[in-house]
Amino acid sequence: MKTIVKALFSFLFIPFICSAQEIPSFDLAVNVEDKNITYTIETNIPLPIEVMIALDARGLKPTDYAIGFMERETINQSPMIFTYETKDNYGIENNFLPSGSYDARVSFYPNWGANNGNPLARKIKDKVVGTQIVVLESYGSIGSQKKIDLKQAWGMDVSINDNWELGKFVKNLGNFQELKTKGRNPNIVKTYYFPEADMTFFISKPLNKVLMWRLGKIDKL
């Protein structure tokens, strides 16, 4: 009789022992439709928890500007679904992301992910990550966006009242289009648009100084 009871006791506690030894993980499924991306997340981490959900262009060097997006979210059930527009929130313009391969990712960071959630999740020692490779079919390419980012980074370092040296600007931003300035005397204020950088510069002709720069093609100061 004691043997039967002991065996039954052991059988009842096997699931709890296995559960305690289960490795924390995410099961991530990602679907891209038109300009939206949907993350379906399943996890065995005690809920609720906070996570970072991200989409990052693949193949970037450490010195490249980031291309993608990141959002902080709360997971309070499993599975849980999040849907986003495929827009770049790392940059200034918040444009749709270019075509190419990306790493979709959900990450749980033990140092803060359970601070407002389940105390059991605080016992997890290492970061938990779920990933999937996805392909966006949008416009251009990640490579072309990298070139634009580099040119814009140079252009955004230009300050008001910097000297206007056309040759230097062409060297760093590419060829330009001169636009007719609206709202100002076009003989005094000149407007130059650089398509390769997608930036516009307004110049004081008498002073030969930079008055302002803006992202995009703009003909009104």
- pLDDT value, residue 66: 95
**CATH number of the domain encompassing residue 109:** 2.60.40.10
Find the range with the poorest average confidence among 61-65, 74-78, 103-107. 61-65
Looking at the fold, whether 78 and 165 belong to one and the same domain comes out as: no
- pLDDT value, residue 200: 98
Looking at the fold, whether 54 and 84 belong to one and the same domain comes out as: yes
Cα separation, 77 vs 60, in Å, equals: 34
The yes-or-no verdict on residue 93 having pLDDT over 90 is: no
The yes-or-no verdict on residue 17 having pLDDT over 50 is: no
The count of domains in the chain is 2
Looking at the fold, whether 134 and 36 belong to one and the same domain comes out as: yes
Q: Is residue 12 one of the residues assigned to a domain?
A: no
Confidence tier at 12 by pLDDT (50, 70, 90): very low
**Domain closes at, from 78, 106, 141:** 141
Cα separation, 180 vs 194, in Å, equals: 14
Q: Which domain holds residue 186?
A: 158-215
- pLDDT value, residue 21: 60
Looking at the fold, whether 104 and 168 belong to one and the same domain comes out as: no
In this prediction, residues 24-36 reach a mean pLDDT of: 97
- pLDDT value, residue 13: 35
Q: Is residue 45 one of the residues assigned to a domain?
A: yes
The yes-or-no verdict on residue 6 having pLDDT over 90 is: no
Looking at the fold, whether 132 and 164 belong to one and the same domain comes out as: no
**Domain closes at, from 79, 113, 141:** 141
Print the SS3 string covering the chain.
CHHHHHHHHHHHHHHHHHHHHCCCCEEEEEEEECCEEEEEEEECCCCCEEEEEEEEECCCCCCCCCCEEEEEEEECCCCEEEEEECECCCCCCCCECCCEEEEEEEEECCCCCCCCCCHHHHHCCCCEEEEEEEEECCCCCHHHHHHHHHHHHHHHCCCCCCECCHHHHHHHHCCCEEECCECCCCCCEEEEEECCCCEEEEEECCCCEEEEEEECCCCEC
The yes-or-no verdict on residue 14 having pLDDT over 90 is: no
In this prediction, residues 78-95 reach a mean pLDDT of: 94
- pTM metric for this prediction: 0.80
In this prediction, residues 53-71 reach a mean pLDDT of: 95
Q: Is 140:96 a contact under the CB 8 Å cutoff?
A: no
The tokens for 182 are: 């609206």
